Amino acid sequence: MEIVVDAGGEARIFDVTATRAGRRVEISTSRGVTEVTEVTRSGTPVRTARFMSTRVIALVEHPADPAAARPAG
């Protein structure tokens, strides 16, 4: 997931990815804050990025890499 944020005259890009098999990235927006969280299969948050919703320009979701999903061997 790429998050494009207005940083006062320039756009900055932040990446949040599911770093291990079985993890996923969830997005939530409330009270003016956009939160992007990497979570485990059981729903435990691993890491979280928070941004002011008024500064978020775009949320870009990339499909999973098919090569990474294939079992080795």
> What pLDDT was estimated at residue 18?
84
> What pLDDT was estimated at residue 73?
54
Neighbours of 51 (CB within 10 A): 20
> What pLDDT was estimated at residue 72?
55
H or E stretch including 66? Answer: helix 66-69
Between residues 2 and 70, the one the model is more confident about: 2
Predicted structure pTM score: 0.77
Residue 12 · residue 5 · CB < 8 Å = yes
For 9-61, write each residue's pLDDT tens digit: 899 999 988 888 888 999 999 999 999 999 999 989 999 999 999 999 999 98
